[in-house]
Chain A
Amino acid sequence: MRQSEIDLEQLNRFNILYIEDDPDLLKHTASILEDFSAKTFAVRSCEEAWKVLESERVDVILADILLENENGLECIRKIRERFDIDVPVIMATAYTDTEFLLEAIRLHVRDYLVKPINLKELLQTLYAALLPRIQEREMERNRMVIHLVSLVSEGKQVELVRYIVGHLDDEYLLHRSYAEIVEETGISKPTVVKVFRQLMESGVLSKVRNGIYRLHLEKVK
């Protein structure tokens, strides 16, 4: 997951809830996180975290496993029970205690950081934790693009492209003849032929033999 090239700009859009009892560490870590996130809520106790969760959108929680007079894991459990949110949680710990780890797994803690915290590692972990959200966002955006394209160009062509992509097998092969496509989609044969020709000319699609076409993925990117 931890790719060398990560787009930390992506983190800009997310809100981070940071729970840490040591005021110095809280202050300095928060001041860095603020630069990378949309909003960073730095709190010193579970109680404060609770208040934040009640009023704000939180995308990821970063919590110390040992808080003053309370257990960070206990705090996470309460939050999970009360808000029933599937916000990814990252624990920061000085311990590598298996007992804590097992408990952490049970609470679906996404990852953990061993103190002292390495900033790069922290950011990567945050990114990794938020990746599904990032990807979800991207897909949504792509869908939007397709939708908008379909609005400005000929609708049938977009529908045909969607059909082709939708019927590719694992080898990126399409096992359909023109007749079958016409029959299944109801799009006129000239349109189908025209689109196929355009795609083959651009090199994206090639004919293996009659009725079998290959999509060249590298050409799409």
Chain B
Amino acid sequence: MKRPIPSLNRWLDELEFSKKTRMLVVIISLGMISIGGLMLVSIFSIKYDYETLYGQRTIPQVHLENMKDIYSVNIDETLREISERSVDPEDAAEVLESALEIAGRQWSAYRKSIGGRPEGASHYAHALLATLFYKSGEKSDRNYYRKELPRKIQERHEQIAKQTRHLIETLRRSEQPDSDLLHSLSSNLQSANIYLTGLIAEHLKEAIKEKRMNDRLFERSIVMLTILIVLVFILSILITILLVNHFKKLNESLESKVALKTRELIELNRSLERRIEREVQNSRKKDWVMFQQAKMASLGEMLQNIAHQWRQPLGTMTMIIQGIEAKYLAGKLDERLLEEKVSDAMKIARNMSETLEDFRTFFHPHKRYDRFDLRTAILKALDLTRYQLDREGIEVMFEMRHSLTIYGYENELVHVLLNLINNARDALKERGVTEGKIAIYVKPSFRRVSISVIDNAGGVPEEILPKIFEPYFTTKYKGAGTGIGLYMSKQLIEKHMEGRIYVKNIRHKLGVKGGKMQRCAMFVIELPRTPKHPKEFNHETI
């Protein structure tokens, strides 16, 4: 028994869930059907038994009983009265005739009732049960008497009838019947009664036997039914347990799967986090590179500025030095001339030094978040771009009613302003605006201060307005722009100084009273007037 169970278990384990369920359903339904069927068969069988008991045992007995009564009471009594002569022969004949008739009727009724067994479903049910639960040996040991007794009763009955009819005739003739006849009739009656009693007993015995058989049938049916119920119950429970186990296993496997997936997810999440981290670093690096690029670009521009600003004084200086030599060679170098030349050279050298200092401080800015004067910052930006603006013949207007100190990184603001001014200059140059103007207005409000940089180059084309602050966006021809300037400006203003920067196309007179409205681009920088959360700002990233 040990071997098949594990294999069965394995088989069950391997069985699909749906198959198990189907099996359960099939078993339960089969069990139900068999229980129901058995019950139906049992009920029909009971009905059959009842019918048999009534029709085959009770009714024949009643007939036999009646016959016996008629024999003993009517005929025997009459015979006794006849022999005692206490009855009118005519009446006696009458009584005997009717008794005989009744007895015959009863007998034929008995015969009829014996022959007619219950038919139909109950009979088949009984037969089915009997064949199922009954050993064939026990089945029909219909005893000898069952067939012999009726025959004997028939014989006696016929004799009685014959003798009685004979007696009746005698009585009709008003003759005293022969005592022999009476005696033989009486004994016939006696024996008929004895046979009848035997038959009744036989019937009773059979009934008892049938009852016993039925009891056994009932017992076996009950046992079978119980076994069936128990079997179905056990099977159902077994399969239910199996299913529950299956569920458990399924659940466990699902849980383990979920756990596995969860682990994988966690792993994935971690790797994603790592990747994000890396990407963030990359993007920081990219930003850094970008800012470096921007810085280099503006450095280039600044260098160009320095070059421009230095070229002229350098030329003069060269000429002064050569002049000293030439004058000396010509013998014209007196003290006055030498002094003049030296003082001129020194003046120029000082100017050059100042220019250099301006740029130097710009490129090595104070990296502190601090108060600073807004006017100074704007003027610094204008100073740094003045040379190029003058060269392009661009008029600059700067209007600021009250001086104002704000908090932030001064040089970054100067950077942004430089960027905006240079962009304006480029736009004016590119579009060939003849009377180019750049206006800077400062308007303080309660909490903020807005610095507007307006140029009359016609405004920013609508289609590029939304993209203008994006990195690497440039409209400048080929290498002229890095596309970083405005992006960097936005970063500086928003991330470092908690301000904001935006652009609008407007119509503005640009300081000309009664002048006509011109299409202008306006860049607005809004900065908070009070220090907010001075950020720890690592300048290495910029």
Task: Using CB atoms and an 8 Å cutoff, list the residues of chain A in contact with chain B.
Answer: 22, 24-25, 27-29, 31-32, 35, 69, 94, 115-119
Structural contact, A115 and B323, CB atoms closer than 8 A: no
* Chain B, Cβ-Cβ closest to A66: B391
In the A-B complex, list the 6 residue pairs whose CB atoms are closest, starting with the nearest: A116-B318, A119-B322, A116-B315, A25-B316, A24-B316, A28-B319
Structural contact, B326 and A119, CB atoms closer than 8 A: yes
Structural contact, A32 and B311, CB atoms closer than 8 A: no
* Chain A, Cβ-Cβ closest to B313: A24
The minimal Cβ–Cβ distance linking B326 to chain A, given in whole angstroms, is 5
| Chain B interface size, under 10 / 10 to 19 / 20 to 34 / 35 or more | 20 to 34
Structural contact, A117 and B318, CB atoms closer than 8 A: yes
* Chain A to chain B contacts (Cβ below 8 Å), 30 pairs: A22-B312, A22-B315, A22-B316, A24-B344, A25-B315, A25-B316, A28-B316, A28-B319, A28-B320, A28-B341, A28-B344, A29-B319, A32-B322, A32-B326, A32-B327, A35-B326, A35-B332, A69-B393, A94-B311, A94-B315, A115-B311, A115-B314, A115-B315, A116-B318, A116-B319, A118-B318, A119-B322, A119-B323, A119-B325, A119-B326
* CA–CA, A35 and B327, complex, Å: 8
Residues on A with beta carbons closer than 8 Å to the beta carbon of B393? 69
Residue B35 lies at the interface, judged by CB distance under 8 Å to chain A = no
* CA–CA, A28 and B393, complex, Å: 28
The minimal Cβ–Cβ distance linking B190 to chain A, given in whole angstroms, is 167
* Chain A, Cβ-Cβ closest to B348: A24
* CA–CA, A117 and B316, complex, Å: 9
The minimal Cβ–Cβ distance linking A89 to chain B, given in whole angstroms, is 19
Chain B contact residues: helix, strand, loop or mixed = helix
Residue B330 lies at the interface, judged by CB distance under 8 Å to chain A = yes
Residues on A with beta carbons closer than 8 Å to the beta carbon of B312? 22, 25
Residues on B with beta carbons closer than 8 Å to the beta carbon of A116? 311, 314-315, 317-319
The minimal Cβ–Cβ distance linking A154 to chain B, given in whole angstroms, is 47
Residues on A with beta carbons closer than 8 Å to the beta carbon of B323? 28-29, 31-32, 119
* CA–CA, A32 and B324, complex, Å: 9
Write the B87-124 contact mask toward A (1 if CB under 8 angstroms, else 0). Answer: 00000000000000000000000000000000000000
Structural contact, A118 and B322, CB atoms closer than 8 A: yes
Residues on B with beta carbons closer than 8 Å to the beta carbon of A94? 311, 315
Q: A32-B322, A35-B327 are known contacts; what are 4 more A-B pairs with Cβ within 8 Å?
A: A24-B313, A25-B319, A28-B320, A119-B319
- What is the count of residue pairs linking A and B with beta-carbon distances less than 8 angstroms? 53
The minimal Cβ–Cβ distance linking B48 to chain A, given in whole angstroms, is 130
* CA–CA, A32 and B328, complex, Å: 11
The minimal Cβ–Cβ distance linking B338 to chain A, given in whole angstroms, is 12
The minimal Cβ–Cβ distance linking A11 to chain B, given in whole angstroms, is 13
Residues on A with beta carbons closer than 8 Å to the beta carbon of B344? 24, 27-28
The minimal Cβ–Cβ distance linking A35 to chain B, given in whole angstroms, is 5
* CA–CA, A95 and B33, complex, Å: 112
* Chain B, Cβ-Cβ closest to A123: B326
The minimal Cβ–Cβ distance linking B464 to chain A, given in whole angstroms, is 30
Q: Which of A116, A117, A118 has the most CB of B within 10 A?
A: A116
Residues on A with beta carbons closer than 8 Å to the beta carbon of B320? 28
The minimal Cβ–Cβ distance linking B232 to chain A, given in whole angstroms, is 108
- Taking CB atoms and an 8 Å cut-off, the chain B residues in 282-338 that contact chain A are 311-320, 322-323, 325-327, 330, 332
* Chain B, Cβ-Cβ closest to A94: B311
Residues on B with beta carbons closer than 8 Å to the beta carbon of A28? 316, 319-320, 323, 341, 344
Residues on A with beta carbons closer than 8 Å to the beta carbon of B311? 94, 115-116
* Chain A, Cβ-Cβ closest to B317: A116
Residues on B with beta carbons closer than 8 Å to the beta carbon of A31? 323, 327
The minimal Cβ–Cβ distance linking A148 to chain B, given in whole angstroms, is 34
* CA–CA, A69 and B320, complex, Å: 25
Residues on A with beta carbons closer than 8 Å to the beta carbon of B326? 32, 35, 119
* Chain B, Cβ-Cβ closest to A23: B316
- Taking CB atoms and an 8 Å cut-off, the chain B residues in 347-389 that contact chain A are 348
* CA–CA, A116 and B327, complex, Å: 19
* Chain A, Cβ-Cβ closest to B314: A116
Residues on B with beta carbons closer than 8 Å to the beta carbon of A25? 312, 315-316, 319
* CA–CA, A24 and B352, complex, Å: 14
Structural contact, A117 and B332, CB atoms closer than 8 A: no
* Chain A, Cβ-Cβ closest to B326: A32
* CA–CA, A29 and B318, complex, Å: 10
Residues on B with beta carbons closer than 8 Å to the beta carbon of A115? 311, 314-315
The minimal Cβ–Cβ distance linking A80 to chain B, given in whole angstroms, is 25
* CA–CA, A35 and B332, complex, Å: 9
* CA–CA, A118 and B319, complex, Å: 7
The minimal Cβ–Cβ distance linking B81 to chain A, given in whole angstroms, is 175
* CA–CA, A94 and B318, complex, Å: 14
Residues on A with beta carbons closer than 8 Å to the beta carbon of B341? 28
- Taking CB atoms and an 8 Å cut-off, the chain B residues in 114-138 that contact chain A are none
Residues on A with beta carbons closer than 8 Å to the beta carbon of B322? 32, 118-119
Residues on A with beta carbons closer than 8 Å to the beta carbon of B325? 119
* CA–CA, A35 and B318, complex, Å: 17
Write the B417-432 contact mask toward A (1 if CB under 8 angstroms, else 0). Answer: 0000000000000000
* CA–CA, A220 and B319, complex, Å: 43
* CA–CA, A6 and B419, complex, Å: 53
* Chain A, Cβ-Cβ closest to B307: A94
* CA–CA, A69 and B391, complex, Å: 8
